[in-house]
Structure 1
Amino acid sequence: MSDQQPIHVIGGGLAGTETAWQIARAGVPVVLHEMRPVKKSPAHHSEHLAELVCSNSFGAMGTDRASGMLHEELRRLGSIVIGKADEHAVPAGGALAVDRGVFGQDLTAVLASHPLIELRREEVLRIPEEGVTVLTTGPLTSESLSEDLERFAGQAYMSFFDAASPIVVGESINRDVAFMASRYDRGEAAYLNCPMDKAQYFAFYHQLCTAEQAELKDFERETAKFFEACLPIEEIARRGEDTMRYGPLKPVGLFNTQKYGAFDAPENKVHKPYAVVQLRQEDKAGQLWNMVGFQTNLRWGEQKRVFRMVPGLENAEFVRMGVMHRNTFINSPELLNSSLQFKSRPNLLAAGQLVGTEGYTAAIAGGWLAGTNAARIALGKPPLTLPITTMLGALVDFISSAEPKHFQPMPPNMGIIPALPKRVRNKRERYGQYRDRAFADLQTWADENNLSLVLPKMSAIA
């Protein structure tokens, strides 16, 4: 073990796992504190590091998409978590999805065996007063640490409510009804599709709107807010009869070519479904399937009753029911710099959903930056900020400079990327130019800071 004083990383989720790895990668010892299994959280199901508590998907892989662009930036920066996601990927059409059990087990084993990483299974009650510390406790920070953070920051958390989708046993899905297909028959058919006709859809819609919801327990019902990118399916349904059909149940481009022939066959288009419930593969063996877009806060009995109305799921066996939990975050524009350091205490950093970035990949990205900068601070080097033309740079710039009064969590998206010098009307072409500029600027930035990027694979640019 090095004579260097260890950096303390509090929280072993995606951000904390990436943070600890980047610190150790820089040759600095790190203590990674994870309270599970000593103390459980309302959303986690295992004691593995980097557990994926909602979906098993990291979003679209295409580098002309916001999530895919961030995936590729992280690959080039040497992210351990994205590297393991690539290694344990399962078929998911154009998305990067993983076998979440194997993914978490592997990352836990790799970090636990690193000579510079000490994994401590304990709850941290207070922010350490000395040394370099990184907070990566996520949306479910324990009560004691939350109170200490509020005292330190001089302000209470903001919050919204987050929800997870049910997972179904593959063998219990009726394959005489559900069919494999990708939208518009593009790429590998990686989704199971449960088609609905108009009568089936409206029967389902009415039952969903009137189904009984679970109690929010200690959450304050009157202050509950939902994050728009992760709305419970029943909340989407209550917004209008056709809202689901223009959202998670969109039938456009989905045809049962197994039953009715070629994609463009007239008899297939006659049988175009009125709505479609999609299921995404959870594991490499295809034994578990996630109901895409079916985040929910319905009571478990109601979930079984209503979701079994979906054609193909009449006898569905659920291995995990949908759950909902509170998601808390700090007012980062008031508290953090774009290096993810606290303005009032530069040797304290934070990353992940705690700082108001939304989504798995954003948490990993914040972990990369916080870990890199924590190590640099410990080594007496200046902290880094990334070009705002990169997705990572733009995301961190947003959460550190947004209007504090109206600050809300932000996922990776092309809207936060600075405009091109010359306007490009075609969206796909414009996003492609954003990508090309980002990767070029990332390389220039790395050269200026004497950092080595991982050479991309040609397939990663597609």
Structure 2
Amino acid sequence: MNGAESPCDVVVVGGGLAGCEAAYQLAERGLRVRLVEMKPHKRTPAQTSDRMAELVCSNSLRGAALSNAVGLLKEELRRVGSLALRCADETSVPAGGALAVDRERFAEAMTRAIEAHPRIAVERREVTEIPAERPVILATGPLTSDALAASLAAAVGAEHLAYYDAIAPIVSADSIDWSRVWKQSRYGKGGAVRGERAAAPERSAPPEERAAPPEERAAPPEDAAERRDDAEAGDEAYVNCPFDEAQYKAFVRALVESEKVEARDFEEVRYFEGCLPCEVMAARGEQTLAFGPMKPVGLTDPRTGRRPYAVLQLRPEDEAATAYNLVGFQTRMKYAEQLRVFRMVPGLEEADFLRMGSVHRNTFVDAPALLGPAMELRALPGVHLAGQIAGVEGYVESAAAGFVCAMLLAQQLRNEPLRPPPPTTALGGILTHLGRKQPRYQPSNITWAHIAPLDPAHGKLRKRARYEAMAERALRDLDAWWAAG
């Protein structure tokens, strides 16, 4: 369908998670939508297909438990009819306590739903400046083009912020040396591969018990506890590549000394702490990785009956487990260096790399200073922002921002009072983050800190009990809000 020739009520720019979700929700509310997507005419360096909602980093949507803030956000999205969550559930693959998807099937499902909707017209072209049509939703994500970013920066009169996300490599399953690795989730949740009974771990000063200077510890993101829960809950979805002390230290040295892709002279690199390149973590100190993505806590090598000095974990990329992602090893090393360094990993000496790691820019605005209550630019009435360009971080959060933006815009177009999700919900927490002023605004995943605290009448609860109580309240409040809408 030729979107340029079709009348519309709203223009949405960007066919990623936020844009697709926003377009779908608007169309479901009876509005005619023109969705403008630049593929296949142009791709960013991180994109490899012409489908919409392409997941360019991990295939994981993170933890599923309701005691986890992102798990609560996913459940809320399911209850309010999110397209992204429906497609994710339909294309899920084993991932322990997380929700992960077969990325190709997920993108196919999202694209099919958008193209088949009778009130959505898809227009394939690049947008280089803010469209004159109103209302418009800009949902161009972390890969917003230089031209459109410059147009946005000029329009709002504020400096747009940029940093770099890095993508982890993917290896072919049949190229892994399975005699050197084993399947197990942390803390014995899944047990050893093939049902082998592992002996008690050796208690010889594992990394989490060795003292490390503060500068050598990985700086955790705000939801570090939640991500740790995601990694530690599960079946046998993770493959462990074990390192002894000498192997680990040699690997860290190789990361630090490797050749990296340098930023251009006019670009300032500002990394998101929750998605640091592995070589950046390694450069912070020899033990940083051992306290971060390579921590061996809760793992026992069935061949030795001991806890390894460190591990690199692999996670399946598709339902058939034909490919594996190097968990936490996003990188900006040059391709030749990636082959050299990652083949130092036990079990990956002959690995066939289906995708190399790379870097991509993430552009976002200072949302608390620039956005109004309907996620609309105060300086440009009728121009709304959704997804990562507004400053959320993560797949689920991007879809949630697209949902909320569409819902609020639909209310505006019907001349109704704005009815945002309650602040006690994770969906409401998206708006809380976008409106929370900071000395220097930074993107964030959803965290419990974004959700209104419990009433003191609950008394003092332990962390998990507190989170479970907050989740129960959130779903109760969400259901009541949704039913009244």
TM-score (norm. length: structure 2): 0.87
- Greater shift in the superposed pair: 127-136 or 155-164: 127-136
Aligned with 2:468 (options 432, 437, 450): 432
CA distance in 2, matches of 1:27, 1:166: 42
Shift, 1:57, TM fit: 0.6
**Alignment of 1:100 onto 2:135:** no
Residue number in structure 1 paired with 2:403: 368
The one-letter code of the counterpart of 1:245 is A
Residue number in structure 2 paired with 1:323: 358
**Alignment of 1:247 onto 2:283:** no
Alpha carbons of structure 1 residues 211 and 5: separation in structure 2 relative to 1, 3 Å: closer
The one-letter code of the counterpart of 2:433 is F
What is the root-mean-square deviation of aligned Cα atoms in Å? 1.7
The one-letter code of the counterpart of 2:408 is N
**Alignment of 1:46 onto 2:49:** yes
**Alignment of 1:232 onto 2:268:** no
Shift, 1:218, TM fit: 5.9
* Runs of 4 or more above 4 Å deviation: none
CA distance in 2, matches of 1:280, 1:354: 28
Q: How does 1:27-426 map to 2 (within 5 A)?
A: 27-186=30-189, 187-217=234-264, 220=267, 223-257=268-302, 259=303, 268=305, 271-403=306-438, 405-422=439-456, 423-426=459-462
- Greater shift in the superposed pair: 378-387 or 351-360: 378-387
8 Å contact 2:317–2:323 — kept in the other structure? yes
The one-letter code of the counterpart of 1:446 is W
8 Å contact 1:59–1:96 — kept in the other structure? yes
CA distance in 2, matches of 1:342, 1:155: 12
CA distance in 2, matches of 1:203, 1:64: 38
The alignment partner of 2:163 has SS state of strand
CA distance in 2, matches of 1:376, 1:58: 29
Shift, 1:219, TM fit: 5.3
CA distance in 2, matches of 1:177, 1:334: 52
TM-score (norm. length: structure 1): 0.91
Shift, 1:184, TM fit: 1.5
Deviations 1:316-369 (A, max 9, x none): 110111111221101111111232122244422111110000111110000001
CA distance in 2, matches of 1:400, 1:148: 23
The alignment partner of 1:341 has SS state of coil
CA distance in 2, matches of 1:193, 1:177: 9
CA distance in 2, matches of 1:117, 1:7: 10
Structure 2, gaps ≥5 residues long: 190-233
CA distance in 1, matches of 2:80, 2:454: 24
Deviations 1:263-297 (A, max 9, x none): xxxxx2xx211101001110111111000000101
Q: Aligned pair count?
A: 435
8 Å contact 2:156–2:380 — kept in the other structure? no
CA distance in 2, matches of 1:31, 1:137: 14
Structure 1, gaps ≥5 residues long: 261-267, 450-462
Deviations 1:384-428 (A, max 9, x none): 31111111212212212323x411111111122222122534111
CA distance in 2, matches of 1:398, 1:106: 30
8 Å contact 2:255–2:282 — kept in the other structure? yes
CA distance in 2, matches of 1:329, 1:75: 27
